[in-house]
């Protein structure tokens, strides 16, 4: 009986051992299937090194071993698969499934700060500092063109201006930004220097303009110019068109309000209409302007009939109004009345408006 029991126990132990060995072999087989390293076709890295774990899946403990230097920030390079396999073999990584790849690509991730965004950040940092105006009105010139700045992808924070200097005497600026890193690394510092000038919109001539010339729409464009160059007397384009130049102006010159005047309604040596109007009398006659004048200007005009020179006010294009004599009684100032009527030479009027009988008899 004892021998029989021992034989039964031995058989049970053998059966259990065989089952355990089979389970161990299955586990090892499954582990080998899972652990087969597989080559990646496209690799992306955020640092300056490429590690085994970047180029293959299932790298295990060898995944942290650096094998290549990464491409430049924001660029992509390629590696022949044969070269990669030799490198992996040197670190005891074998049996890699290449999936029939001939080469793999390696891209280094980066954060790109475009030049226009950098200029905007600098302008915002300088806004309203030491007499400067709004950021939108600042024209910046950098000592070195910042271009597009590339940073490791971990530097995802927004630029913070930590140092801002501006000298209004020479327009020089010096601005430093810091950008934080998500991975706990020290923030990166970016420094920019150059000059900043505040600009304003100005009406600028497209051609040379002579004195007394009328500005047309095609003669004036709007450009941004330094505020110091334009001053506080800058003319507005819409109000410049149709105005007359007080002096000779050159192409590219910002127009100032003082450079313009209302257009002359009367030109020197121009034939004009003299108008004399008083109570019950309206006389018009021909004259020759001796001066230029715009509306409201007092000009001298020669009466073509009497050849006498009179002064009048420009009231319209080619029209000059003769101021009536004072209402002082005629008996007390006969000389002035005689001067006016003789200068107007009423013997040759162009038109006579409604006249009452009493006035007409005096005129006769």
Of 8-12, 31-35, 228-232, 356-360, give the lowest mean pLDDT range.
Answer: 356-360
Q: Which letter does DSSP use for residue 249 in this model?
A: B
**Greatest pairwise CA separation for the chain in angstroms:** 175
Question: Which residue ranges make up each domain of the chain?
Answer: 38-108, 113-199, 200-261, 271-363
Q: Which letter does DSSP use for residue 210 in this model?
A: -
pLDDT band at 333 (very low <50, low <70, confident <90, very high): very low
CA distance 242 to 57: 76
pLDDT band at 20 (very low <50, low <70, confident <90, very high): low
CATH 2.40.110.10 fits 271-363, yes or no: no
Mean pLDDT of the chain: 82
Handedness of CA 207, 208, 210, 211 (dihedral sign): positive
Residue 266 has pLDDT above 70, yes or no: yes
Q: What is the pLDDT of residue 83?
A: 94
Q: Who has greater pLDDT, 223 or 356? A: 223
Q: Who has greater pLDDT, 228 or 108? A: 108
Q: What is the pLDDT of residue 30?
A: 53
Query: Which string of DSSP letters, residue by residue, matches 142-197?
Result: ESS----EEEETT--SPPEEEEEEEETTTTEEEEEEEE--TTSPPPEEEEEEEEEE
Q: What is the pLDDT of residue 229?
A: 86
Residue 1 has pLDDT above 90, yes or no: no
CA distance 357 to 22: 144
Query: Which string of DSSP letters, residue by residue, matches 184-238?
Result: SPPPEEEEEEEEEEEEEEEEEESS-B-TTPBPPGGGEEEEEEEHHHHTT-BPPHH
Residue 194 has pLDDT above 90, yes or no: yes
* Residues comprising the chain, all counted: 364
pLDDT band at 302 (very low <50, low <70, confident <90, very high): very high
CATH level 2 (architecture), domain 200-261: Alpha-Beta Complex (3.90)
Same fold? 200-261, 271-363:
no
Handedness of CA 65, 68, 69, 73 (dihedral sign): negative
Q: What is the pLDDT of residue 280?
A: 84
The residue whose two tokens read 């002064």 is: 311
CA distance 139 to 199: 7
Highest mean pLDDT among 34-38, 304-308, 335-339, 342-346: 304-308
């Amino acid at each position: 009986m004892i021998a029989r029991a021992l034989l039964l126990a031995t058989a049970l132990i053998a059966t259990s051992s065989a089952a355990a060995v089979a389970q161990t072999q299955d586990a090892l087989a499954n582990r080998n299937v899972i652990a087969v390293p597989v080559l990646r076709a496209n690799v992306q890295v955020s640092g300056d090194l490429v590690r085994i774990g970047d180029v293959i899946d299932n790298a295990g403990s060898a995944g942290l071993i650096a094998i290549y230097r990464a491409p430049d920030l924001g660029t992509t390079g390629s590696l022949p698969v044969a070269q990669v396999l030799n490198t992996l073999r040197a670190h005891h990584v074998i049996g890699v499934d290449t999936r029939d790849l001939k080469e793999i690509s390696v891209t280094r991730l980066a954060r790109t700060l475009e030049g226009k965004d950098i200029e905007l950040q600098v302008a915002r940092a300088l806004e309203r500092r030491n007499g400067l105006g709004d950021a939108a009105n600042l024209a910046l010139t950098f000592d070195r063109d910042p271009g597009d700045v590339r940073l490791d992808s971990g530097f995802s924070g927004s630029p913070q201006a930590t140092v801002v200097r501006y000298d209004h005497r020479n327009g020089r600026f010096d601005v430093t930004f810091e950008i934080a890193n998500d991975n706990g690394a020290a923030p990166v510092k970016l420094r920019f220097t150059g000059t900043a000038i505040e600009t304003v919109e100005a009406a600028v001539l497209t051609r040379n303009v002579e004195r007394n010339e009328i500005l047309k729409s095609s003669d004036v464009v709007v450009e941004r110019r330094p505020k110091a160059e334009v001053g506080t007397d800058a003319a507005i384009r819409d109000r410049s068109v149709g105005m007359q130049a007080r002096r000779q102006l050159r192409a590219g010159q910002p127009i100032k309000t003082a450079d313009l005047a209302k257009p002359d309604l009367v030109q020197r040596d121009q034939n004009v209409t003299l108008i004399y109007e008083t109570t019950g009398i309206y006389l018009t006659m021909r004259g020759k302007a001796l001066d230029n004048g715009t509306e409201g200007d007092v000009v001298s005009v020669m009466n073509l009939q009497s050849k006498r020179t009179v002064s009048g006010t420009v009231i319209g294009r080619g029209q000059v109004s003769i101021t009536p004599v004072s209402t002082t009684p005629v008996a007390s100032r006969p000389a002035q009345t005689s001067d006016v009527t003789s200068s107007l030479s009423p013997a040759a009027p162009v038109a006579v408006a409604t006249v009452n009988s009493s006035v007409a008899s005096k005129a006769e």
